[in-house]
Chains A and B, each alone.
Chain A
Amino acid sequence: MEFVQKKTADSAVEAFLSKAAEKGISLVWDRYEGSLPQCGFCDTGLNCRDCLQGPCISHPFRDGSKVGVCGKDKDILGVHSFLRLVVHGAMAYLDQLIDFADGVRAGQGSPRDKGKANKLTKDVQTLLSDGGAGVLGEFPKALTDAWKAAGVYPEGVAKDLFKASQKLDGGTSGVQDTLLWAFKGALLGCVAQVLQGRLKAAVFGDASPGNVEVNLGVLQGEVPTVLLYGHFSPLLKQKIAEAAQGKKIGIMGVCTDPLIPPYSFAPVTNFGSQEIPLMTGAVDLIVAGDQCVNPSLAFLAEEWKVEVVQTETLKRGDDVGNLARKIIERAGKAFEARGKIAKDIPQVKESARMGFSAADVDMKKIAEALTGRKVKGLALLAGCNNVKFTQDQEIVSLARELLKKDVLCISEGCASVSLAKYGLLNPGNRGSSCGKGLSDLLLSVGKDLPPVVDLGSCENGGVTEFLLAMGKAPRELPLVACFPEANRSKAVARAAWTTAMGIPTYFWPYLPVTGSPKTVEALGDFCQKTFGAKLNVLTERMEPLEKADLLMKGLKRA
């Protein structure tokens, strides 16, 4: 909750900050500063608004209001604050999956592997009362046994998320019990993510790694440009790309899966600077989902006369093919109508090789290198951007440090786009970015591997598939997960299931649970006892170097 002097490490984005100030347009950084100081009770999880007798707080300094009207004390408030985020985050994965599966079942696409797609859509249909037994059966037995013993083995939406969400309504559960409900819900989110990745492969075919260009310089200016924002059905994305075939139309993405075979949508920027592409004047139409899309885009779109098509509407009567054709048509018209609007495209872009999977690398060798300590360990870099930090600086500095220290780094989603902007997903930078041991390993386990290995969009369970392919329980290997600039509730759910897999997890900014010492302790020691890993709540101010040292210590536990 502090003023951040330098807003972004991305020079292409930085150039637009003064331009916005000149025009009197407020961007995410201005809005953040306007909100300072943010509410201290909310920041520490000491507040509740779950019923209408409140809002309640537990006042840390005042005896008269230590406990909410219904009796939630600071510890229950703290653990509920975590649970609320996890339930919201886990539902986000289920929402994406069910949308996609419904589309496949309705015949919106023609799956490459019909049999597999049919089976997967059936699995999705039964998720209400089944936790995805097929997927869960593939996890190491030691892990699923631990989940069963703790009572967090997923049993389906009804028994996981519905029940977990009602813990917020009341009941007499204590901190640890409530926390376990959060983990149960989060693991269902994990299953949903894996199912979506598999359905994507069944429908569009297995994706091989693709070369894409990243950052604002990918915008063209001289042709109509459509930007896909956030998460919505991949089938619509496919249809939009199909409708644009043979036409001079640029289709790119922000905070969305960039690879839908055979098409790719260059990531124009990442979460923190998602408003900036509209300011270039080179965007004619945006297709916007809900997840990961800032409401401020509506205002900016109006300002730059950009057409907006919402995907998540109440009346989605239109066939996706028709909708896609209309989108392309409207983009063409918008381009003509917007002819007089000045275009200002920074010539900044980077090449990146994205979308690897376990099939593209020698998993046996990687597992051997980890057990034999040929590299220091494996770190998952996840999360997106958070305005509380200089955009990209934390994750990129941390990755650079880990690579130098011979830690194999994997990433997904928006974290990958952050890293790609600075060349860390460019195979050409492998030698200069990585320590000798890591560089040798990357060279020997696959073709054209970049310093950081991107395992695909956050929509798909690439990271979980990668861990499954390792063939060992994660707690037996030197693994850590870090979220250096986390932001969405999805990241909280993701961090929870990563911890439940036995991977020590480091999360920044600190989770809003710090008002409850029992919750912080439970995320630490109790999770260590139950799952073999902690979800670390870190309140101290740390430089990226210190963070890297902390992660190195985490790797040593195995």
Chain B
Amino acid sequence: MQVIMVDREKCTQCHTCALWCGIEIGSVTKELNQAINEEPKPVPRVHVEGNNLPLHCRHCEVAPCIDACPNGSMRRDPKTGLVYVHEPTCIACWMCVMVCPFGIIVPSSSDHGAIKCDRCRNMEYPICVEVCPTNALKLQETRTGLPEGDSHYAQYSKGLEGSW
């Protein structure tokens, strides 16, 4: 599975990933100047928090959100391993929101459903990785859900130690 890795030394917290995620994935118009004034407000799937850490869905191997979903709306793509919300059946009960250990999933009342990063599974390349001006975000192959070799990249469990 390919996941998004964050190089915390390169991240400047510029929020460019969140801005473009909101435009490309969250908005109706997909145009910067229209999207920023859209109502309801587009919801980015990536969140930049303190300590230079853009938070994306980790697509956990044992995903609590899938287990918690009462009607099977939280699903895993068998080909890519990516976890996504099947929007037509989501009942907005927010169980997934409560169990996500990373706080990735956003309860959206306007969309009547849970919103989360699906790593742009229907696009060739995740938009956040494409727009990151410092190349702090990279798409990387992993077998275990954690990056191999390159210890420079923050592993999520490690990355969160500082802020918790």
Assess whether B131 is interfacial by the CB under 8 Å rule.
yes
Q: Which chain A residues border B64 with CB–CB below 8 Å?
A: none
Q: A43 to B32: give the CA distance in the assembly, Å.
A: 9
B53 to chain A minimum Cβ distance, whole angstroms, is 15
Residues of B28-53 contacting chain A, CB below 8 A: 31-37, 41-44, 47
Q: Among the listed stretches B14-22, B84-92, B155-163, which one makes contact with chain A, having 4 or more residues with CB under 8 Å of it?
A: B14-22
B135 to chain A minimum Cβ distance, whole angstroms, is 12
Partner among A37, A43, A62, A517 whose Cβ is within 8 Å of the Cβ of B18:
A62
Q: Which chain A residues border B42 with CB–CB below 8 Å?
A: 60-61
Q: A511 to B5: give the CA distance in the assembly, Å.
A: 35
Q: A63 to B116: give the CA distance in the assembly, Å.
A: 18
Q: A43 to B18: give the CA distance in the assembly, Å.
A: 15
A36 to chain B minimum Cβ distance, whole angstroms, is 9
Assess whether A39 is interfacial by the CB under 8 Å rule.
yes
Residue of B nearest to A514 (CB): B33
Assess whether B23 is interfacial by the CB under 8 Å rule.
yes
Contact indicator B44/A40 (Cβ below 8 Å): no
Assess whether B26 is interfacial by the CB under 8 Å rule.
yes
Q: A46 to B14: give the CA distance in the assembly, Å.
A: 12
Assess whether A59 is interfacial by the CB under 8 Å rule.
yes
Residue of A nearest to B19 (CB): A40
A111 to chain B minimum Cβ distance, whole angstroms, is 50
Q: Which chain A residues border B16 with CB–CB below 8 Å?
A: 37, 39-40
Assess whether A133 is interfacial by the CB under 8 Å rule.
no
With contact pairs A60-B19, A61-B22 given, residues A39 and B14 touching in the complex (Cβ less than 8 Å) = yes
Give the A-B pair count, Cβ closer than 8 A. 54
Assess whether B133 is interfacial by the CB under 8 Å rule.
yes
Q: A514 to B23: give the CA distance in the assembly, Å.
A: 15
Contact indicator A44/B36 (Cβ below 8 Å): yes
Chain B, interface residues (CB within 8 Å), range: 20 to 34
Q: Which chain A residues border B41 with CB–CB below 8 Å?
A: 60-61
Contact indicator B44/A61 (Cβ below 8 Å): yes
With contact pairs A40-B23, A40-B32 given, residues A59 and B18 touching in the complex (Cβ less than 8 Å) = yes
Residue of B nearest to A44 (CB): B36
Residue of A nearest to B34 (CB): A539
With contact pairs A37-B131, A39-B14, A39-B133 given, residues A61 and B19 touching in the complex (Cβ less than 8 Å) = yes
Q: A514 to B44: give the CA distance in the assembly, Å.
A: 20
Residue of A nearest to B21 (CB): A61
Contact indicator A40/B133 (Cβ below 8 Å): no
B27 to chain A minimum Cβ distance, whole angstroms, is 9
Contact indicator B32/A1 (Cβ below 8 Å): yes
Q: A211 to B16: give the CA distance in the assembly, Å.
A: 50
With contact pairs A60-B35, A60-B36, A539-B33 given, residues A40 and B20 touching in the complex (Cβ less than 8 Å) = yes
Q: A229 to B142: give the CA distance in the assembly, Å.
A: 54
Q: Which chain B residues border A539 with CB–CB below 8 Å?
A: 31, 33-34
Q: A517 to B32: give the CA distance in the assembly, Å.
A: 13
Q: Which chain A residues border B14 with CB–CB below 8 Å?
A: 39
Assess whether A515 is interfacial by the CB under 8 Å rule.
yes
Contact indicator A41/B19 (Cβ below 8 Å): yes
Partner among A39, A65, A510, A515 whose Cβ is within 8 Å of the Cβ of B36:
A515
With contact pairs A61-B43, A62-B44 given, residues A44 and B18 touching in the complex (Cβ less than 8 Å) = no
Contact with B along A37-68 (1 / 0, CB 8 A): 10111011010000000000101111001000
Chain B CB within 10 Å, residue with most, of A40, A65, A515: A40
Residues of A3-55 contacting chain B, CB below 8 A: 37, 39-41, 43-44, 46
Q: A88 to B12: give the CA distance in the assembly, Å.
A: 28
Q: Which chain A residues border B22 with CB–CB below 8 Å?
A: 60-61
Q: A104 to B146: give the CA distance in the assembly, Å.
A: 72
Contact indicator A61/B20 (Cβ below 8 Å): no
Q: Which chain A residues border B47 with CB–CB below 8 Å?
A: 62
Partner among B15, B26, B33, B37 whose Cβ is within 8 Å of the Cβ of A41:
B15
Residue of B nearest to A74 (CB): B36
Q: A61 to B38: give the CA distance in the assembly, Å.
A: 10
Residues of B within 8 A of A (CB): 14-16, 18-20, 22-23, 26, 31-37, 41-44, 47, 131, 133
Kindly list the 7 A-B residue pairs having the minimum CB-CB distance in the complex, ordered from nearest: A60-B36, A61-B22, A539-B33, A514-B33, A40-B19, A37-B131, A61-B44
Please name 13 pairs of A and B residues whose Cβ atoms are closer than 8 Å in the assembled complex, sorted by A. Answer: A37-B16, A37-B131, A39-B16, A40-B20, A41-B15, A44-B33, A60-B36, A61-B18, A62-B18, A514-B36, A515-B36, A539-B31, A539-B33
